[in-house]
Structure 1
Amino acid sequence: MAKAVRASLGDTWITCQVCRGDQFRERGVKLDSTGLEFMNWAWADETATRLICHRCGYVHLFVNRNLRLHKVKG
């Protein structure tokens, strides 16, 4: 299983919208668009950060580049 992280935007800590958990698994996500795929320019699409709640599994997507990830000790 992936290492748990906590996340923040500035001084605000991110919690799960469903269960209020504060630990997540993180993965990058490519936000593909049909037009760029058709022209073989998928590499130019924007990326997002996917945070999957460790407690309930709800998936959160963030495009904000100010999102900071913090390792959970232990």
Structure 2
Amino acid sequence: MVKPVHAAIGQKTIRCQVCDNDTFREREVKLNSTGMEFFNMAWANESATGLICWSCGYVHLFVNRDIRLYRMRE
């Protein structure tokens, strides 16, 4: 079962750009490029942190490695 998370960069809490919700599902997202796909090297593409809004489903992508995720208490 997927658990919701809160996220922040520095002191700034991340909220959904669409609905202003502050809970997300998190997953790794590959940032595929045409050149790397052409040479069958998609595995070497950069990845991002994907935060999917728990409320509306909007996907936010972050390549900033300073993003912190906080698991919500049950």
TM-score of the two chains, using structure 2 as the length reference = 0.94
Unaligned runs of 5+ in 2: none
CA distance in 2, matches of 1:8, 1:66: 9
CA apart distance, 1:62: 0.7
Q: Which residue of 1 aligns with 2:7?
A: 7
Q: Which residue of 1 aligns with 2:49?
A: 49
CA distance in 1, matches of 2:41, 2:53: 32
Moved runs in structure 1, 4+ residues, more than 6 A? none
Percent identity over the alignment is 61
CA apart distance, 1:51: 0.6
Number of equivalences = 74
CA distance in 2, matches of 1:30, 1:57: 18
CA apart distance, 1:21: 0.4
